[in-house]
Amino acid sequence: MNSNPFRVAGFLFSGISAGIKKDGRKDLGLIYSETPAHVAGLFTTNKVKAAPVLISMERVKGGFCQAILVNSGNANACTGPRGMKDGYRVSSLLSKELGIKSDHILLSSTGVIGIPLPTEKIAKRIPELVRGLSPDRWGDVVEAIMTTDTRPKMEWGSCRIRGEKVKLCGMAKGAGMIRPNLATMLSFLVTDAHIESLFLQKILKEVVDLTYNRITIDGETSTNDTVLILANGRANHPVLNRMDKEAQIFKSMLLEVCQTLAHHIVRDGEGVTKVIEISIQGAKNDEEAKKAAYGIAHSPLVKTAFFGEDANWGRILSALGHSDISLHQDRIDIFFDEIPIVKNGVGTGPKLEERASNVLKKKAFKLTVHLHQGRGNFSLLTTDLSLDYVKINASYRS
């Protein structure tokens, strides 16, 4: 995997196999900043949170971070007091090896829930992990965070802020349990921009709401979702701490990188054969448009119809009808791409339905619903629900 475009001044990376996964693939990764970096983070909204999430949520409040230790193959979730103890232990061991404060180390895990973290395996490999740190091993960390992912997910961008070149690199994992407010989705971003932590948190939240929080595969929300960004200030421009022209340039770059990563996640969803943009227009307000979009996106009947390439508009109307929004069924229009399949709540006939079914044969298409209730709009990305999705999740622990 070519890591050359993913060099960021002052950051080193390492990824190895610690034997957590049964198949010997890389499962332990480290992102390290040579100097303390400003940090911002967002985490799962699931009330059941994994130990590494709880630890990292507390440490992010300090505003600075120097390392992210991540493992795959074990979520360290629902493991009780032992899970917290194990998390503190591995971060303490890593802090001694790196010579940094333990509360400057953030933790992240993904994998099977309910199994104790194999701390002895991790402890034995921490020295090797640290020795392997290099500006050229970004790709090893990307591999180390993958679970049911079939391909690596990474993106980078650059811009100029007050005359200084600024670099941003991002990675993500996630193939199942993806829905808004993050879900078995990890994303780590590093930049040499100089941005104050509180302001960075504000920008990250706004960007995530427009990207990672607008994708859904199976409607499940994980115990381990984490998005972290580290900014070490090596670009040496004046600090960004308010929304001005220069900060907007950085935010636009971050938005573009996260949008690309979000699209990668959806395209690599478990068993996915179709990627669908659902656009709700003319709802009473934006919040109702959002409810309508997720009502459709989370309907197993709609998603299986997508998989079967069946333009079954009745299922879409049914999903809208129980999405708890204001609507008049005789005002609803539905389109697959540009093909009108429903007009004023009634099907447009077999010829147009056949054309719509041809749209569903594509790997990516757009479903537009106009409610004619007001000015509310919302769009998201989702997928079909296939036989392979069931097979993958039926055998996940085996």
Sequence ranges of the domains in the chain: 4-267, 275-394
Confidence of residue 177 (pLDDT cuts 50, 70, 90): very low
Question: What's the mean pLDDT in 262-284?
Answer: 90
Per the prediction, the chain carries an average pLDDT of 93
Predicted local confidence at residue 282, as pLDDT: 98
Quickly list DSSP for 276-304: EEEEEEEESSHHHHHHHHHHHHT-HHHHH
Q: Which pLDDT score is estimated for 262?
A: 92
CA dihedral for 299, 390, 272, 206, sign (positive or negative): positive
275-394 has the same fold as 4-267: no
Alpha carbons 98 and 105: distance in angstroms, whole number: 10
How big is the chain, counted in residues? 398
Q: Which two tokens stand for residue 19?
A: 């034997």
What digits encode the pLDDT tens for the residues 204-258?
999 999 999 888 876 556 789 899 999 999 998 999 999 999 999 999 999 999 9
Residue 184 designated active-site: yes
Looking at residue 340, what is its pLDDT?
Answer: 98
pLDDT band (50, 70, 90) for residue 370: very high
Distances in Å between the Cα of 289 and the Cα atoms of 239, 283, 374 are 38, 5, 10
Q: Is 182's pLDDT higher than 50?
A: no
Query: Which pLDDT score is estimated for 222?
Result: 78
Does the pLDDT at position 22 exceed 80? yes
On whether the CB atoms of residues 207 and 257 are closer than 8 A, the answer is no
Residue 175 has pLDDT above 80, yes or no: no
Can you tell me whether residue 14 is helix, strand or coil?
A: strand
pTM of this prediction?
0.88
Q: What is the pLDDT of residue 2?
A: 61
Q: What are phi and psi of 81, to 5 degrees?
A: -55, -30
Residue of 135, 154, 132 lying closest to 143 (CA atoms): 154
**Band of pLDDT at residue 181, cut at 50, 70 and 90:** very low
From CA 21, how far away is CA 26, in angstroms rounded? Answer: 8
More confident residue, 88 or 182: 88
Domain 4-267 in CATH 3.60.70.12? The answer is yes
Choosing from 147, 184, 223, 382, the catalytic residue is 184
For a pLDDT cut of 90, what percent of the chain falls above it?
83
Q: Provide the CATH number for the domain formed by 275-394 in this structure.
A: 3.10.20.340
Predicted confidence (pLDDT) per residue in 306-363, tens digit: 999 999 999 999 999 999 999 999 999 999 999 999 999 999 999 999 999 999 999 9
What is residue 215's predicted lDDT score, i.e. its pLDDT?
A: 87
